[in-house]
Structure 1
Amino acid sequence: MRLLRGIVATATVAASLALLAAAPASAATPEPAPVATPDATPPPVADDPKDPIRASEYWLDGARIREAWRTTRGKGSTIAIIDTGIGRPPGAFDGAVADGTDVSGSGTPDGRTPLGTKDKNHGTWVASLAGARGAADGTGMIGVAPEAKLLSISIGFEAAAVVPFTEQIAKAMRWAVDHGADVINLSLTTNTLDWDESWDDAFLYAFEHDVVVVVAAGNRGSGTSIVGAPATIPGVLTVGGVDQHGDASVEASTQGITIGISAPSEGLLGVSADGTVVTWDGTSGAAPIVAGVAALVRSAHPDLDAANVINRIIRTATAVPGVKRVPDPLYGYGLLNAAAAVTADVPKVSANPMGDLEEWIRLYRRAESDPAPEPTVTPIAVPPLPAADAPTKPGSPLLPSAESLRYGTLPLLALTVPGILVALGVTAAARRIRSARDRRTPSP
């Protein structure tokens, strides 16, 4: 398993962030779709265009997130971040983290202590893209759903983790569901298509409790050559990555047939646990952007179930020029369009468009296969045994019987008589020889 970590560099206001501020928005974004007028329009988000950090978040306009904020900013929805733990950078998550836990056996009970040596800030970066609050004066990094609640579930990825990785994920999924998650974000991969059977029940538990599960596709740059589990599990919304122009990322994403939606994965920002802002690449960052949009949809449409939340996100995606069929292995259904996902008129569906895990289990795990037919046994006719010999009348044990004469006395006589005759013949011959020798011997 691995975190979907991309290229990371410490950001400075004068250099890295200024460069990102000049990055163009997605070239594939179409004209804005008609936006429904909400009953109660929220006040405008404090936004300082002169702030280099805020100006560097190009995806807020490229994915039309700022437009979606005219309707909702995620209030009332909860996103579970299953990762290395959401740290406590100054001001970034004030009032955002509602609860937390550790399932690795190495963290703190509240899940807020970053785990690991190399990737300990990963969970904090992911959370900042999904739901960082931003400062009241409109400066600092702001997440896609800045009014959504966050759950911090810390897991360990390194070999020294006390609890096996598969067990951690299964436990984390159930804890998130039981503690009110509307959306679960998984910015991780196993680099294999299949997954442990314990995940069948864990993910099915989330789907049965109406939770949207968002998963990163993986990054070629970090060694992921194929889309691996959990991004291959039916029912999850798998996120591929694109650059600032809306083109599929080469290093910062992996492509495959399970991708449902594409979102920015290059030149992203993240707040570390110590408050430092960094730039990084990877679908680890694309996934929480989509998870944030899922929270916006759930906030704006609390009547929709998880299947219809996912359906709104993929059906309102911006079409990619040149792509003829969807889903496409590079882009899925297209580029993320938050405003359309929140406000467009989308027909409801009765099933998750990303697949049915329960049906997959039935077909491939054979969990609900029909019982084997009872074997039928045909009786075999056995011929009757022959009648037993009539019992013989008992006689005296001192007198010979027919059986003893046949098998005992007669064979014994047959062997004994010839032996006696031979012995007598030998004896007579010996006497004759001795007599003859005596007659030839002269007298002294």
Structure 2
Amino acid sequence: MTTDRLARCASLLAAGALVWGITASPAVADDVRDKQWPIRTYEAGAKLWSVSQGDGVVVAVVDSGVREDHQDLTGQVLPGADFSGAKTDGRVDSNGHGTGVASLIAGHGHDGQSGVVGLAPKAKILPVRVRWNGEGVDLRQSDIELAVRFAVDHGAKIINMSIGGYDRLDYAARNAISYAVSKDVVVVASTGNSGDSAAPVEYPAAFPGVVAVGAVGEDGKLWERSTFGPETTLVAPGVNISEATAKSTSSYGVGRGTSDATAYVSATAALIRSKYPDLSAGQVINRMIKTATPPADGTVVPNVHYGYGILAPAKALEANPAVDGGPKENPLVKRAESQGAPSSDGAGDATGEPSEEAVAPGADGGGSGGDGTGLVIGAGVAGVVVLGLVVAVVVRVRRRPGR
């Protein structure tokens, strides 16, 4: 595959939803904590953590690994797996993207009111490391299959995938997502960071059954680079997000992108599954969908930009007999794919691989996850690399300067 081909295909997955109009709580002394506007907006201390903190729920983070000894994540990170070729258990992160995502899900801060706290601070993180290079993620289809199946088979009730690409991926990856859905797992992925109206929601977010998350800013408006489309399920905070990084045990950065928004949706699912352990994954998803806040501009939901609306964790945790007594099935399983589902015989074309025509042109974009120098990571897609008879789809996450 040529460099031009990769450049045309580059982009990022992510999506989410959020509730606005809440009065912010007083600022805390720690500067990092003070900058966590989603925690203030959601009034996490008063309206979430008194109800649920994610106890007993395992969230798999399929990413660059997670630094287990960061001061805001100590004790939160379980032994996981490494499909990058390195011999680790996933608790090593040379990039920082996975550590940032994990901190937004299950960070517990330190010294009381200092550091990054996640939306589900008592959930556990199962790190599933995949291939990354100097520029970002280098995720092959086989990695997706192995990572997802490992997460399901090792107790994850939620799988966070802040990664993505335009190609529909092979049937191994598609079947792995179907396997997770069939095993009652909530799969959450980002829609992308292209901001291009012609670019489709990326995979794995576009797979049926996956909660596809976009990003909004503190004003509740869709982030200008958030990829959108008919698969968009929810939107969540994804702009100017303070998070942990892997530079050191006490490093922080500021990220932006649908990767961060995806983490907040995964954390909300963890809060729900902890409070209501008997609910199916489908009922958990329905709680988030049916309690989402419509956008402030008055547009009718669902729509391609906001999905069902902005994530509202407090409302999603309230008693809701109408939703809980409804169907247990995942409401997104029958969702149509904007790129068109492959033929039922498993062949995208005569070779049995996804058709080249299914790969949409991409756009470079910044994703979530900062490091100690303020770098912002953009997740991207890759294309099809052919070597003899072997076809592998590469998904790239590019790192670019941020504020």
Shorter-chain TM-score range: 0.7 to 0.9
User: Counterpart of 2:331?
Assistant: 353
Deviation at 1:3, TM superposition (A): 7.9
Higher strand share: 2
Deviation at 1:109, TM superposition (A): 2.6
Deviation at 1:60, TM superposition (A): 1.2
Measure, in 2, the Cα distance between the counterparts of 1:323 and 1:205: 38
Bigger RCO of structures 1 and 2 (CA < 8 A, at least 6 apart): 2
| Cα offsets for 1:36-69 (capped at 9, x unmatched) | xxxxxxxxxxx98121111111101323433111
1:324-335 correspondence runs (5 A): 324-335=299-310
Measure, in 1, the Cα distance between the counterparts of 2:147 and 2:197: 25
Deviates more, 1:259-268 or 1:339-348: 339-348
Decide whether aligned partners of structure 1 residues 139 and 2 sit closer, same or farther in structure 2, where only a CA change above 3 A counts. farther
Gapped runs of 5+ residues in structure 1?
7-25, 33-46, 369-444
RMSD: 3.3
Local SS of the residue matching 1:152: strand
Measure, in 1, the Cα distance between the counterparts of 2:327 and 2:23: 26
Local SS of the residue matching 2:234: strand
| Cα offsets for 1:368-387 (capped at 9, x unmatched) | 9xxxxxxxxxxxxxxxxxxx
Counting aligned pairs with the same residue, the percent is 33
Local SS of the residue matching 2:68: coil
**Which protein shows a greater Rg?**
1
Question: 2:71 aligned with 1:98, yes or no?
Answer: no
Measure, in 1, the Cα distance between the counterparts of 2:90 and 2:142: 16
> Letter of the aligned partner of 1:244 in structure 2?
E
1:264 to 237, 244, 266: 237
Higher helix share: 1
| Cα offsets for 1:83-138 (capped at 9, x unmatched) | 00001343221111122110121x233112225xxxx1111111111111111422
User: Counterpart of 2:389?
Assistant: none
User: Counterpart of 2:187?
Assistant: 213
Local SS of the residue matching 1:215: strand
User: Counterpart of 1:58?
Assistant: 37
Measure, in 1, the Cα distance between the counterparts of 2:23 and 2:157: 30
Measure, in 1, the Cα distance between the counterparts of 2:154 and 2:307: 31
Deviation at 1:257, TM superposition (A): 1.1
| Cα offsets for 1:405-437 (capped at 9, x unmatched) | xxxxxxxxxxxxxxxxxxxxxxxxxxxxxxxxx
Deviation at 1:205, TM superposition (A): 1.1
Deviation at 1:351, TM superposition (A): 2.5
Assess if the C-alpha contact under 8 Å between 2:148 and 2:176 holds in 1. yes
Measure, in 2, the Cα distance between the counterparts of 1:237 and 1:202: 15
Measure, in 1, the Cα distance between the counterparts of 2:113 and 2:151: 31
> Letter of the aligned partner of 1:87 in structure 2?
R
Local SS of the residue matching 1:291: helix
> Letter of the aligned partner of 2:60 in structure 1?
A
1:213-362 correspondence runs (5 A): 213-220=187-194, 225-251=199-225, 253-273=226-246, 274=248, 275-345=250-320, 346-347=322-323, 348-356=326-334
Decide whether aligned partners of structure 1 residues 5 and 201 sit closer, same or farther in structure 2, where only a CA change above 3 A counts. closer
User: Counterpart of 2:105?
Assistant: 130
Decide whether aligned partners of structure 1 residues 319 and 155 sit closer, same or farther in structure 2, where only a CA change above 3 A counts. same
Decide whether aligned partners of structure 1 residues 68 and 367 sit closer, same or farther in structure 2, where only a CA change above 3 A counts. farther
Measure, in 1, the Cα distance between the counterparts of 2:208 and 2:59: 20
TM-score normalised to structure 1 length: 0.67
User: Counterpart of 1:396?
Assistant: none
Local SS of the residue matching 2:289: helix
> How many pairs does the alignment contain?
328
Measure, in 1, the Cα distance between the counterparts of 2:202 and 2:281: 22
Deviates more, 1:229-238 or 1:318-327: 318-327
User: Counterpart of 2:62?
Assistant: 82
Question: 2:341 aligned with 1:366, yes or no?
Answer: no
Deviation at 1:226, TM superposition (A): 3.0
Question: 2:55 aligned with 1:71, yes or no?
Answer: no
Local SS of the residue matching 2:145: helix
Decide whether aligned partners of structure 1 residues 200 and 191 sit closer, same or farther in structure 2, where only a CA change above 3 A counts. closer
Decide whether aligned partners of structure 1 residues 263 and 316 sit closer, same or farther in structure 2, where only a CA change above 3 A counts. same
